[in-house]
């Protein structure tokens, strides 16, 4: 009886070890990456800033003609512009940089640890338009992008 309980326990632990990585892999899908800002001119009510983004495609499919736009964190319908169109193969990383002009209050939000609201838009392999927020972490990127 004791031997049987041990066998069941070992089988259970083995199955658990298989399930946890699969679940973690599913949670890694989508886009991940980093951002930083540089070349800041905050001499007026509007701030000019260059945003650098390093983006990893974890969707499992190649993405072509994608647009990453930057939106106001408190008024998401307000956009400050977008990066140039980009294509990113599955599992690959792209670096993009773009200058933006935004209100002083939004930039102060970023300086206090808040992040820009990044939204990626593209047409998936089924022909559907995908639009989703991307949560990027702030991290210094060597020499911009």
Domain spans, the chain = 30-138
Contact (Cβ atoms closer than 8 angstroms) between residue 55 and residue 93:
yes
Q: Which CATH number fits domain 30-138: 1.10.390, 3.30.420, 2.60.40, 2.30.30?
A: 2.60.40
Q: What is the pLDDT along the chain (145 residues), one digit of tens a residue?
A: 655 555 444 444 444 344 444 343 444 479 999 999 999 998 889 999 999 999 999 999 999 999 999 999 999 999 999 999 999 999 999 999 999 999 999 999 999 999 999 999 999 888 999 999 999 999 886 655 5
pTM of the model: 0.75
Output the 3-class SS for 71-118.
ECCCCCCCEEEECCCEEECCCCEEEEEEEEEEEHHHHHHHHCCCCCEE
């Amino acid at each position: 009886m004791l031997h049987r309980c041990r066998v069941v326990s070992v089988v259970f632990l083995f199955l658990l070890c298989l399930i946890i990585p699969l679940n973690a892999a599913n949670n890694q899908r989508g886009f991940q990456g980093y951002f930083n800002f540089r070349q800041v001119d905050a001499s007026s009510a509007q701030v000019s800033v260059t945003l650098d983004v390093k983006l990893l495609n974890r969707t499992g499919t190649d993405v072509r003609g994608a647009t990453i736009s930057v939106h106001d964190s408190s008024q998401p319908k307000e956009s400050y512009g977008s990066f140039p169109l980009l294509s990113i193969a599955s599992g690959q990383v792209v670096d993009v940089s773009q200058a933006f002009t935004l209100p002083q209050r939004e930039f102060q939000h970023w300086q206090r640890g808040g992040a820009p609201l990044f939204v990626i838009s593209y047409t998936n392999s089924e022909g559907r338009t995908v639009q989703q927020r991307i949560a990027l972490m702030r991290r210094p990127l060597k020499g911009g992008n």
